[in-house]
A and B are shown apart, each in its own frame.
Chain A
Amino acid sequence: MRVTTTVNGETRHADDVSESESLLYLLRERLGLPGSKNACEQGECGSCTVYLDGVPACSCLVAAGQAEGSDVVTVEGLAPGRDLDPVQEAFVECGAVQCGFCTPGFVVSAHDLLARCPNPGDDEIREALAGNLCRCTGYEKILDAVRCAAGRMPSERSTV
């Protein structure tokens, strides 16, 4: 089948997409956007998290066909027209990135959390990001990064 989606603001088509393909596969293998990561492909790790019509989703659990006509934003498109979103900036600055394999998913999830809840407490951050696994950091620096980004979010955020 042919799938048409808006990805990071651009209309994209993919042909010969099979029923069993995931949105993650579509992004990584067909649209040349490998930023979203493939650490489990079972919905357990969150490293494939993207915005799907404004809501964060594990793209490995979404069939590519289901994304037809939808609006997808990936880590590559999180800061349109800028170098970095404040969340991305905070992740680098606070040491929240080691191997970085979990980072694209965390950045999208944290971006969503702060859009919904600009000043989350630690318990809220932990709960909101509990679907994202990180094996390197022990999460302390990721918490720091989210706290730091929360203090810095521009008042007018680009909505996705």
Chain B
Amino acid sequence: MTSLMQAAETTSWNGIGTSARRPDGLLKVTGRFSYSSDLWVEGAVFAVTVRSPHAAARIVSVDVSRALALPGVRAVLTHEDVPGAKTYGMKLADQPVLAVDQVRYHGEPVALVAADDPQTARRAADLVHVEYAPYEPVTDPEAALLPGARPVLGSDNLVRHVKIRHGDLVAARELAEVVVSGDYEVGMQDQAFLGPESGLAIPSEDGGVELYVSSQWLHKDLEQLAPCLGLPPDKVRLTLAGVGGAFGGREDLSVQAHACMLALRLGRPVRMVYSREESFFGHVHRHPARMHFEHGATRDGKLVYVRARLLLDGGAYTSTSPVVIANACYFAAGAYEVPHAQIDGLAVYTNNPPCGAMRGFGAVQSAYGVESNLDRLARELAMDPLELRMRNAMRTGTVLPTGQEVDGPAPVRELLASLQERPLPAEATGERDLRTLPGGVANTTHGEGLRRGIGYAVGVKAIGYSGGVDDVSTACVTLEVAGGRPVVSVHTAAAECGQGVTTVQAQIAGTELGVTRVVVVPADTRVGDAGSASASRMTWMSSGAVQGACRLVARDVLARAARVSGRPATVLALVHDGVVDSLTGDRVCSIVDLLGDDRIEHVHEYHHRPTQGIDPETGQGDAHIAFAFAAHRAVVEVDVELGLVKVVELATAQDVGKAMNPLAVEGQIEGGSAQGLGLALMEELVVDDSGRLRNPSFTDYLIPTMLDVPPMPISLFELPHPDSPYGLNGVGEPPTLSSTPAIVNAVRAATGLDLPRAPVRPEHLTGTMPAGNRAATPAALPAVTPPPGTAPGGQPTRARH
């Protein structure tokens, strides 16, 4: 069955540290790469989801008879048809596979329809009649915590309260000569990966099921999925189908349980592919945040303390909120030395869309708060904001608010200095090209009313799983001869989401075994867990596993070569498809001759060093394995009359430990920076007071285009990390932390406005709307549309009150 997916293959030697080409690149540029939405097998039916039009309602009844009567419809399933556990979840199994007696957010899945073709399935979904009794949704996260607030789920609306107490805040407040505080907000951002959630489930002869799906973590999917299907884990086999981007949005289940349920019920293959609109309902988002920051400092700009309160809206189910809020708190002091800290983070349940993992995982929100308040402090001190950052920059040995000492490289000052040294983009003079102006070809300004601003920000985030979680990554490496040449196969369950983990795996196998031809076979659950493509951990953890397995293979090959040649194994090395004596440089033998028909295979499980959980009352503990840092300098031009912003340049400085593949590393930094730009200036899912999502489309949820993104020069630092394979460090998330506040700080510098809220909208800049206003509704929003699969407008759902 794995023949549905292609292996990725390299045939030229490209070791680590080179910008090796992606082994899947050829397939991708020619349109032959199989994404999860491209899969098709004979006899497959197409399935769609029926979703709730209400944010909070009791389900009175579900009538599937009209849908079932439509010719071409094969099945309509509700919660009664879930074969096993009725709920699942990343941290708590609290999310229903299909809603049972109530719905808790707009777009919650209620029923499934399978039909011979997509059109019939969609028509039938409209015929599923669900009678709802809506009730008042809880949509304000602050109000959700008030006594008497209706619990969305369970007994109260608190998901988790994280407390960090470090130093002596009372004494610190005495010491502080200057105190500034501010309230900051971050809107709900969407991952907006381009490849829709999709998969193909095929029933197997043993009563189990094969699922081809786009995912960030196959084994976690399996762990949640098998109980819902009422099957032992070995009867549920997952294979990674081509993933069209992820950014956190594919950590939770989407189509997995639904497609498998239908396949098992019908005994035939089932395809599911979300539309873009359904995709906006079908995955968790970045938590909207309301934050209060207070910094105390001496007159000469030394930070004395930080006090922060962070409130994250987790929406209707738990997802990963308990760890997102922890991560937001861990880094709420920013990349600075702050001797005293009191940090409180609260994640709450509401009837808003569920929120969970998105690139940066909570640290994006707190970085926005701390970096914004730091610019406010600089204004208060009449100090250059860059100077203030340099003066307080964290370094190796700095003790974090969690009590842990930073033990790897921490070049915060150096990163900032490299940005400072970079020449500024020239100020344009004379007649300007419209495309370089705010508003662009919309022809809104020819240069009048323009102000330029420069802003800086820096971010720090932990790499890998924190807080006492054992982090595992497994690789199976095989060396054999095929077609007269040695071939290495690398088999892992690592999710290639576009970030390039297969490229790095091939580079490592080539480096460690000196072999030119490397095949990275499709990722699946037939091999051990690789952990998730998240926490900027995949390259680190997967490199550890592949390197370890390769070294076991190399040991066996060299032992064999030693026997054959009579030279000690310790002087032998694998180079250019053969064995050489590293002392004399002699070629001892070829791998082909040495192996013949044998194959050598080894599995290695890599773990990073253990971490501790934090103390629930004080937040103290050595919770992290490593830290990664990035800094940005943004240069913007603002049309202050119309409130339009053009980012002129967005420069990044980042330490990556070791650039395993420099081109791919730059690609991560540029992509992460652009997502931060989107959060600064345009991206927000708008949820109205009734808990309904107002803009689930690319027409109304705007992501940056090539005209919005400026040149993004990079200063890459490679300070080897002491604990990691090859000295590398995680790369993917850090740039998303500092990009947003650097841009907003630049807009503040240009306009002199406070701008507490991201994304900054034109009305915040022109003063037509208070900048902190919560429901910052974009001007041209459509009327509320029901999510796909809800009852059509002509067929009102009956409300009981």
- Residue in B closest to A75 when the chains form the complex, CB atoms: B31
Q: Is the C-beta of A59 less than 8 angstroms from some C-beta in chain B?
A: no
Are the C-beta atoms of B499 and A98 separated by less than 8 Å? yes
Within 8 Å by CB of A137, from B191, B433, B667, B698, lies: B667
Are the C-beta atoms of A140 and B194 separated by less than 8 Å? no
- Residue in B closest to A20 when the chains form the complex, CB atoms: B119
Q: Is the C-beta of B758 less than 8 angstroms from some C-beta in chain A?
A: no
Q: Is the C-beta of A130 less than 8 angstroms from some C-beta in chain B?
A: yes
Within 8 Å by CB of B245, from A36, A126, A136, lies: A136
- Evaluate whether A84 and B666 lie within 8 angstroms (CB atoms) in the complex, with A92-B22, A93-B21, A101-B194 already known: no
Are the C-beta atoms of B22 and A137 separated by less than 8 Å? no
Give chain B residues whose Cβ lies under 8 Å from the Cβ of A135: 191-194, 245, 247, 671, 675, 703
Are the C-beta atoms of B194 and A47 separated by less than 8 Å? yes
Are the C-beta atoms of B670 and A140 separated by less than 8 Å? yes
CA of A28 to CA of B433 in the docked complex: distance in angstroms? 40
Are the C-beta atoms of A137 and B671 separated by less than 8 Å? yes
**Residues from 1 to 51 in A contacting B, C-beta threshold 8 Å:** 18, 20-21, 28-29, 33-42, 44-45, 47
Are the C-beta atoms of A127 and B32 separated by less than 8 Å? no
CA of A87 to CA of B21 in the docked complex: distance in angstroms? 15
Interface-lining segment among A64-72, A102-110, A152-160: A102-110
- Evaluate whether A138 and B671 lie within 8 angstroms (CB atoms) in the complex, with A91-B29, A95-B663, A133-B194 already known: yes
Within 8 Å by CB of A138, from B32, B196, B247, B709, lies: B709
Interface-lining segment among B33-41, B376-384, B577-585: B33-41
CA of A138 to CA of B245 in the docked complex: distance in angstroms? 13
Give chain B residues whose Cβ lies under 8 Å from the Cβ of A93: 21
Are the C-beta atoms of A101 and B195 separated by less than 8 Å? yes
Are the C-beta atoms of A99 and B497 separated by less than 8 Å? yes
Are the C-beta atoms of A134 and B31 separated by less than 8 Å? no
Give chain A residues whose Cβ lies under 8 Å from the Cβ of B37: 34, 37-38
CA of A101 to CA of B276 in the docked complex: distance in angstroms? 14
Are the C-beta atoms of A99 and B21 separated by less than 8 Å? no
- Residue in A closest to B701 when the chains form the complex, CB atoms: A44
**Residues from 41 to 89 in A contacting B, C-beta threshold 8 Å:** 41-42, 44-45, 47, 74-76, 78-79, 84, 88-89
Give chain A residues whose Cβ lies under 8 Å from the Cβ of B436: 123
Are the C-beta atoms of A45 and B698 separated by less than 8 Å? yes
Are the C-beta atoms of B195 and A39 separated by less than 8 Å? yes
Q: Is the C-beta of A150 less than 8 angstroms from some C-beta in chain B?
A: no
Q: In the complex, what's the smallest C-beta–C-beta distance from B663 to chain A, in angstroms?
A: 4
- Residue in A closest to B661 when the chains form the complex, CB atoms: A95
Give chain A residues whose Cβ lies under 8 Å from the Cβ of B500: 98
Q: Mark B685-714, 1 if CB is under 8 A from A, else 0.
A: 000000000000111000101110101100
**Residues from 690 to 742 in B contacting A, C-beta threshold 8 Å:** 697-699, 703, 705-707, 709, 711-712
Are the C-beta atoms of B35 and A101 separated by less than 8 Å? yes
CA of A88 to CA of B703 in the docked complex: distance in angstroms? 25
CA of A21 to CA of B247 in the docked complex: distance in angstroms? 31
Are the C-beta atoms of A76 and B31 separated by less than 8 Å? yes
Within 8 Å by CB of A101, from B119, B244, B672, lies: B244
CA of A99 to CA of B195 in the docked complex: distance in angstroms? 9
Are the C-beta atoms of B29 and A123 separated by less than 8 Å? no
Q: In the complex, what's the smallest C-beta–C-beta distance from A110 to chain B, in angstroms?
A: 11
Q: In the complex, what's the smallest C-beta–C-beta distance from B678 to chain A, in angstroms?
A: 9
Are the C-beta atoms of A39 and B194 separated by less than 8 Å? yes
Within 8 Å by CB of B194, from A20, A37, A41, A91, lies: A37
Q: In the complex, what's the smallest C-beta–C-beta distance from B436 to chain A, in angstroms?
A: 7
Give chain B residues whose Cβ lies under 8 Å from the Cβ of A94: 663
Are the C-beta atoms of B707 and A127 separated by less than 8 Å? yes
Give chain A residues whose Cβ lies under 8 Å from the Cβ of B28: 92, 97, 100, 103
CA of A130 to CA of B191 in the docked complex: distance in angstroms? 20
Q: Is the C-beta of B275 less than 8 angstroms from some C-beta in chain A?
A: yes
Q: Is the C-beta of B441 less than 8 angstroms from some C-beta in chain A?
A: yes
Are the C-beta atoms of B497 and A138 separated by less than 8 Å? no
Are the C-beta atoms of A45 and B30 separated by less than 8 Å? no
Are the C-beta atoms of B24 and A140 separated by less than 8 Å? no
Within 8 Å by CB of B25, from A38, A97, A126, lies: A97
Q: In the complex, what's the smallest C-beta–C-beta distance from A106 to chain B, in angstroms?
A: 9
Within 8 Å by CB of B498, from A28, A35, A89, A136, lies: A136
Q: Is the C-beta of B175 less than 8 angstroms from some C-beta in chain A?
A: no
Give chain A residues whose Cβ lies under 8 Å from the Cβ of B111: none
Q: In the complex, what's the smallest C-beta–C-beta distance from B63 to chain A, in angstroms?
A: 26
Q: In the complex, what's the smallest C-beta–C-beta distance from B521 to chain A, in angstroms?
A: 19
Q: In the complex, what's the smallest C-beta–C-beta distance from A159 to chain B, in angstroms?
A: 20
Q: Is the C-beta of B674 less than 8 angstroms from some C-beta in chain A?
A: yes
Residue of A45, A75, A97, A107 with most chain B CB atoms under a 10 A cut-off: A97
- Evaluate whether A130 and B705 lie within 8 angstroms (CB atoms) in the complex, with A95-B664, A98-B499, A98-B500 already known: yes
CA of A132 to CA of B500 in the docked complex: distance in angstroms? 22
- Evaluate whether A99 and B705 lie within 8 angstroms (CB atoms) in the complex, with A45-B698, A91-B29, A126-B435 already known: no
CA of A104 to CA of B435 in the docked complex: distance in angstroms? 25
Q: In the complex, what's the smallest C-beta–C-beta distance from A97 to chain B, in angstroms?
A: 5
- Evaluate whether A42 and B706 lie within 8 angstroms (CB atoms) in the complex, with A95-B19, A95-B663 already known: no
Give chain B residues whose Cβ lies under 8 Å from the Cβ of A125: 706
Give chain A residues whose Cβ lies under 8 Å from the Cβ of B119: 18, 20-21
Are the C-beta atoms of B433 and A123 separated by less than 8 Å? yes
Are the C-beta atoms of B698 and A37 separated by less than 8 Å? no
Are the C-beta atoms of A35 and B30 separated by less than 8 Å? yes
CA of A66 to CA of B628 in the docked complex: distance in angstroms? 53
CA of A141 to CA of B699 in the docked complex: distance in angstroms? 25
Are the C-beta atoms of B698 and A97 separated by less than 8 Å? no
- Residue in A closest to B496 when the chains form the complex, CB atoms: A99
Q: In the complex, what's the smallest C-beta–C-beta distance from A39 to chain B, in angstroms?
A: 4
Are the C-beta atoms of A99 and B244 separated by less than 8 Å? yes
CA of A81 to CA of B245 in the docked complex: distance in angstroms? 31
Are the C-beta atoms of A134 and B194 separated by less than 8 Å? yes
Give chain A residues whose Cβ lies under 8 Å from the Cβ of B275: 41
Q: Mark B629-670, 1 if CB is under 8 A from A, else 0.
A: 000000000000000000000000000000000011011011
CA of A130 to CA of B245 in the docked complex: distance in angstroms? 19
Q: Is the C-beta of B243 less than 8 angstroms from some C-beta in chain A?
A: yes
- Residue in B closest to A141 when the chains form the complex, CB atoms: B667
Are the C-beta atoms of B706 and A98 separated by less than 8 Å? no
**Residues from 376 to 417 in B contacting A, C-beta threshold 8 Å:** none
Within 8 Å by CB of A102, from B30, B191, B194, B499, lies: B194
- Evaluate whether A101 and B31 lie within 8 angstroms (CB atoms) in the complex, with A37-B194, A39-B195, A127-B707 already known: no
Give chain A residues whose Cβ lies under 8 Å from the Cβ of B709: 138-140
Are the C-beta atoms of B699 and A133 separated by less than 8 Å? no
CA of A41 to CA of B278 in the docked complex: distance in angstroms? 12
Are the C-beta atoms of A104 and B31 separated by less than 8 Å? yes
Chain B contact residues, CB within 8 Å of chain A: 19, 21-22, 24-26, 28-35, 37-38, 40, 118-119, 191-196, 242-247, 273, 275-276, 433, 435-436, 441, 497-500, 663-664, 666-667, 669-675, 697-699, 703, 705-707, 709, 711-712
Chain A contact residues, CB within 8 Å of chain B: 18, 20-21, 28-29, 33-42, 44-45, 47, 74-76, 78-79, 84, 88-89, 91-95, 97-104, 107, 123, 125-127, 129-143
14 more A-B contacts (CB under 8 A) besides A40-B276, A44-B698?
A: A21-B119, A28-B38, A34-B37, A42-B697, A45-B698, A75-B29, A76-B31, A97-B25, A123-B436, A134-B194, A137-B671, A140-B666, A140-B712, A141-B667
In the assembled complex, 10 residue pairs joining A and B whose CB atoms fall closer than 8 Å, in A order, are A36-B31, A38-B37, A38-B196, A45-B194, A91-B29, A99-B498, A135-B247, A139-B670, A139-B674, A140-B670
